[in-house]
Amino acid sequence: MHEVKLVVKSSDVDEFKKLKLSSYFKMFQDVSVDAVEAINMGMSFNEEKGLIWVVTRARVEILRMPNYGEKINFYTYPNPSLRFIYPRQFLVKDKDGNIIIKMSTTWALLDDKTRKIAMLKDDELPLEFEVHAEELPLPKKLEIPLGELKKENIITYTDCDLNRHLNNTRYIDYILDLYDADFYKSHEIKNFAIDYMIEVKEKQTLKLYETFSNNVSYITGKVLDNIVFQCKIEFKDI
């Protein structure tokens, strides 16, 4: 299990001094990179083989969001792989060792040129798999209704990452900006799930559709006629 100690900084929080979900996603992304770099399977491994790592699905259970200035311990480890799918678990604990966030993700390796799934042999990806009782089940495919068009965003240069597409953390900001600060005064995220389906590139227009009912939001992102992501958020009243 790979561990990284972090402190929640001012740039990580919202006006309520709570860790933003997009900041959490940035942390999990950086911790993931740190974990594979630690076993020499990071950037140099990818460049040598012409591959890129991409997140395909993510599920987050939030027991409590950490506060500004709080020290947290971030843990990650890979579950046994499933053909070309590579599950990875995350746990966030407070200074007393209490779990405050759980996350289950699936990843895939893409050929950097063709952007198609790459198949590697077991000995080419010698990960040390773990399974722990407190982890979340692996994320399943979301099936959600297409709601009402709420917002359109043109993807810009700063939205994109080293893989030349919309970074997974930016999706989160776009999604959460469907609601204003008044909404977040009375609502907190309890569970968050997202499926990334098709990569989104610079200059494309991302349309967000939403249905909200009984504190559950169903969000679909489309580019032209293609569904590029689906998301489900369960809120709780504060």
Q: What is the CATH number of the domain that holds 30?
A: 3.10.129.10
Same domain for 179 and 114? Answer: no
Domain assignment present for residue 111? The answer is: yes
Do 192 and 226 share a structural domain? yes
167-212 tens-digit pLDDT: 989 999 999 999 999 999 999 999 999 999 999 999 999 999 999 9
Q: Closest Cα to residue 34, out of 92, 76, 87?
A: 76
93 and 181 co-located in one domain: no
How many separate domains does the chain show?
2
Residue 93 lies in a domain: yes
The strands making up 51-62's β-sheet, listed across from edge to edge, are: 2-7, 71-78, 86-93, 99-111, 51-62, 187-196, 226-237, 216-223, 205-213, 148-154
Maximum mean pLDDT: which of 116-120, 139-143, 160-164, 207-211: 207-211
Same domain, yes or no: 7 and 98: yes
What are the structure tokens assigned to 147, written together? 């709601």
Verify that 106 and 17 share a domain, yes or no.
Answer: yes
Predicted local confidence at residue 128, as pLDDT: 82
Read off the pTM: 0.92
- Which residues constitute the domain of residue 52? 2-124
SS3 138: coil
> Interior CA angle at 11 toward 14 and 193, to 5°?
60
pLDDT of residue 99: 97
